[in-house]
A and B are shown apart, each in its own frame.
Chain A
Amino acid sequence: MKITRFLNKRSSLGIPYFLFMLCFVVAPLVIIVFFAFTDGNGHLTFDNFLRFVSNPKDLNTFVYSMVLSMITTLICLVVGYPIAYILSDSRLCKSQVMVILFIMPMMVNVLVRTLATVALFGWLHLPLGEGALIFGMVYNFLPFMIYPIYNVLNKLDKSYIEAAQDLGANPVQVFLKVVLPLSKEGIISGVMMVYMPTISTFAISELLTLNNIKLFGTTIQENINNGMWNYGAMLAVVMLVIIMVLNMFDKSPEEGGSEMGGLV
């Protein structure tokens, strides 16, 4: 009866998940990294990376994508924070329905929303291009900024605010000295949730600029579509490294960070 005892062991319960992770997360990553550092014949090489850094066109696209993502993230933060603040304040927002209304767009497919944006711009006779792209990205990713900030503000112990008032802080000082620093976790989470997907986006840029503006995601997709597997893989690795580096900022100092601000 060795087999039943093995299956009953607590750690054995993790086996299916482990296998899933192995097949669908680890293996693809290994394959991407393998392709990135080999040439077409399977020989180890750094040529793909050197080709990227010596290719001004692709480097430009990369920098442009980063900047565009930053602009999008910044706009999302500036627009999203006040919304999150209002939603979390029970005096200003009495109904949970408001929260759901703001979060709802997340439940609709990105492509559907983007195609709707294209139609909207057409109907309003607005030109598609960079402005439309930024609008589309902000529109698509704003809920990802609002939700983590809302979560943190909602759980913020109101007695901190009262303590600050009690110690002489006026409403502006209360916000700057207490609310803002204590919602840092949510801001970091929100920035990650917006910045990371915007770097790798390609469908939105294709649809909202009529393929006139190329983002880094598009470059990767084009290379892979055109059979340049090794170079495309290297570009993907570059992006993964950037995302991983950014992700390291998302570690909260105390445990329970994901409870503080995470979306998931």
Chain B
Amino acid sequence: MEKHIIDIRNVSKSFGEHKVLKNINLYVKKGEFVTILGPSGCGKSTLLRCIAGFEQATEGDILIDGKDISDVPPHDRPVNTVFQRYALFPHLNVYDNVAFALKIAKVGKDEIRKRVSKVLKIVGMTDYEDRDVLSLSGGQQQRVAIARAIINRPQVLLLDEPLAALDLKMRKDMQMEIKEMHKTLGMTFVYVTHDQEEALTLSDTVVVMNEGEIQQIGTPTDIYNEPANAFVADFIGESNILDGIMLEDKRVHFLGKDFDCVDEGFEKSEKVDVVLRPEDIYILYAPNLAGQFEGTVTSCIFKGVHYEMWIVTDDKCELMIQDYNAFEVGSRVALIIKASDLHVMKKERLTNTFDAVMVDSNHVEFLDTKWECLPQEGISGGEEVKVHIPFDKVDLMDTVEDGAIEGEVRFILFKGDHYHLRVRTTSGNKDSIYADTKYVYDDRDLVGIKILPQDIEIER
């Protein structure tokens, strides 16, 4: 069995009512480069802070090298951190910043000098020993921060979005250097970022997080080619995510047509999500006999290496396509999708389902609100039931007061001809409801949520 340097078991963390981490289970192998990837506010930094010891997990255990460190204060943990905004001590120069950990550990003067110059050499900052840290550029401060964190030879190096503050060119260079350092040092790196490209470039293993939960753990190629769900597919790279129906093994129906695929093991007629990477769709001028379906180009933008085009298919579905050749706006095109290039994912949910309580024969309470429903025969008040509401029956109102409750748009997924939104209610337990809509909303928009009585299906 390979050695787990970090073992995170059933870790949850709440700040007051708000659950930031929900039952996280994760292990990191010795010497591995693991990236925790997710949008801002997904709990990835909190998880890192739990490992470093700046936050205490509300539930669960964190083991480092087999030892439970839940009660070990940060200064006794065998990990070091590279902070997001570097946190270099402004009252110390480069040398004293880097030597800080060794001076605390009462290492001899000569030994300190030797080790400081060694790590400064590793990060390429040899001639900067006497410089004031505030006089350094962002990239240089970053290097000093790394030097300071690795000088004590920690078992695990934690990096909290270390490149977020650098410009693009600098970031690319530092990515390569960090990967190089990981190889040279042989330490375990746990790296937190919201930049999917950075995660794919650097890591051995990527952990995708959203809303305090792990969505998928896998190698960069797995994550990209076989996303576990619509969130991962949407977050990693560009994708077209469409609603489809599995006809049989290796046969899926979407865009009004039947396609061959390589996916198996779904129920017959199961509703699924189909992922098409924009670079995987072949585009030709129509008419072309090889084309599986046709569409019209609505926009074409030069992106440097390729052109990014939006196509409207004949059944009014929009697709993004990347190709080395430009197709003029307005031209008819034929499109081909190879079986191995389309990826079918199980839908996480097919409808909204809530635990509810009947108030009286035509009122039901869920999402901390009383809703009117059709009169129910034989279900008495106070009885616990389940309610189902289809995604497209959840009406979102621009004027919050027009809805029965208020919600905040937290996740938007474009499905070709409609948007699939997750709306988090702003009151009570802040539960989420999912809605399909034709209208465009932005992340964090406030909306009113309205559900008609006939759209609430009640199950005992």
Interface residues in chain A, defined as those with a beta carbon under 8 Å from any beta carbon in chain B: 157, 159-160, 162-170, 173-174, 177-178, 181-182, 184, 254
Q: Chain A residues near B104 (CB, 8 Å)?
A: 167-169, 173, 177
Q: In angstroms, how far is the closest chain B Cβ from the Cβ of A225?
A: 48
CA distance A182 to B79 in the complex (A): 25
CA distance A160 to B87 in the complex (A): 5
With A159-B83, A173-B104 already in contact, the answer to whether A165 and B89 are too (CB < 8 A) is: no
Closest partner residue, chain B, to A162 (CB atom): B54
Q: In angstroms, how far is the closest chain B Cβ from the Cβ of A134?
A: 33
17 contacting pairs across A/B (C-beta < 8 A): A157-B85, A159-B83, A162-B52, A162-B83, A163-B83, A163-B87, A163-B88, A163-B148, A165-B54, A166-B75, A166-B81, A167-B100, A167-B101, A169-B75, A169-B104, A174-B75, A182-B90
Q: Chain B residues near A163 (CB, 8 Å)?
A: 81, 83, 87-89, 148
CA distance A184 to B88 in the complex (A): 17
Taking a contact as CB atoms under 8 Å apart, the answer to whether A167 and B87 are in contact is no
Closest partner residue, chain B, to A173 (CB atom): B104
Q: Chain A residues near B91 (CB, 8 Å)?
A: 181-182, 184
Taking a contact as CB atoms under 8 Å apart, the answer to whether B80 and A162 are in contact is no
Taking a contact as CB atoms under 8 Å apart, the answer to whether B89 and A162 are in contact is no
- B78-109 toward A: CB 8 Å interface, digit per residue (1/0)? 01110111011111000000001100110000
With A167-B104, A168-B152 already in contact, the answer to whether A162 and B74 are too (CB < 8 A) is: yes
Closest partner residue, chain B, to A174 (CB atom): B75
CA distance A164 to B91 in the complex (A): 13
CA distance A177 to B105 in the complex (A): 13
Q: Chain A interface secondary structure, helix, strand, loop or mixed? A: helix
CA distance A177 to B52 in the complex (A): 20
Q: Chain B residues near A160 (CB, 8 Å)?
A: 87, 89-90
Interface residues in chain B, defined as those with a beta carbon under 8 Å from any beta carbon in chain A: 52-54, 73-76, 79-81, 83-85, 87-91, 100-101, 104-105, 134, 148-149, 152
Q: Chain B residues near A173 (CB, 8 Å)?
A: 104
CA distance A163 to B145 in the complex (A): 10
Q: Chain A residues near B53 (CB, 8 Å)?
A: 165
Q: Chain A residues near B100 (CB, 8 Å)?
A: 164, 167, 169, 177
CA distance A166 to B79 in the complex (A): 8
Task: Given A160-B89, A168-B76, A169-B75, output 11 extra A-B contacts at Cβ < 8 Å.
Answer: A162-B54, A162-B83, A163-B88, A164-B89, A165-B53, A165-B54, A165-B73, A167-B75, A168-B152, A170-B75, A182-B91
CA distance A163 to B87 in the complex (A): 7
Taking a contact as CB atoms under 8 Å apart, the answer to whether B80 and A166 are in contact is yes
Taking a contact as CB atoms under 8 Å apart, the answer to whether B105 and A178 are in contact is no
CA distance A178 to B103 in the complex (A): 13
Q: Chain B residues near A166 (CB, 8 Å)?
A: 52, 74-75, 79-81, 149
Taking a contact as CB atoms under 8 Å apart, the answer to whether B83 and A167 are in contact is no
Closest partner residue, chain A, to B49 (CB atom): A162
CA distance A110 to B139 in the complex (A): 53
Which residue of A170, A178, A184, A254 is within 8 Å of B89 (Cβ)? A178
Q: In angstroms, how far is the closest chain A Cβ from the Cβ of B97?
A: 9
With A160-B89, A173-B104 already in contact, the answer to whether A165 and B74 are too (CB < 8 A) is: yes
CA distance A219 to B70 in the complex (A): 65
Q: In angstroms, how far is the closest chain A Cβ from the Cβ of B234?
A: 32
Q: In angstroms, how far is the closest chain B Cβ from the Cβ of A119?
A: 46
- The residue in A165, A173, A178, A182 that gathers the most chain B C-beta atoms within 10 A of its C-beta is A165
With A162-B83, A163-B81, A182-B91 already in contact, the answer to whether A168 and B101 are too (CB < 8 A) is: yes
Q: In angstroms, how far is the closest chain A Cβ from the Cβ of B83?
A: 5
Q: Chain A residues near B87 (CB, 8 Å)?
A: 157, 159-160, 162-163
Taking a contact as CB atoms under 8 Å apart, the answer to whether A168 and B105 are in contact is yes
CA distance A164 to B84 in the complex (A): 15
CA distance A165 to B75 in the complex (A): 5
Q: In angstroms, how far is the closest chain B Cβ from the Cβ of A185?
A: 10
With A162-B74, A182-B90 already in contact, the answer to whether A167 and B85 are too (CB < 8 A) is: no
Q: In angstroms, how far is the closest chain A Cβ from the Cβ of B138?
A: 16
Q: Chain B residues near A157 (CB, 8 Å)?
A: 85, 87
Q: In angstroms, how far is the closest chain A Cβ from the Cβ of B80?
A: 6
CA distance A166 to B48 in the complex (A): 12
Taking a contact as CB atoms under 8 Å apart, the answer to whether A167 and B80 are in contact is yes
Q: In angstroms, how far is the closest chain A Cβ from the Cβ of B146?
A: 13
- The residue in A174, A177, A182 that gathers the most chain B C-beta atoms within 10 A of its C-beta is A177
Which residue of B76, B85, B134, B149 is within 8 Å of A159 (Cβ)? B85
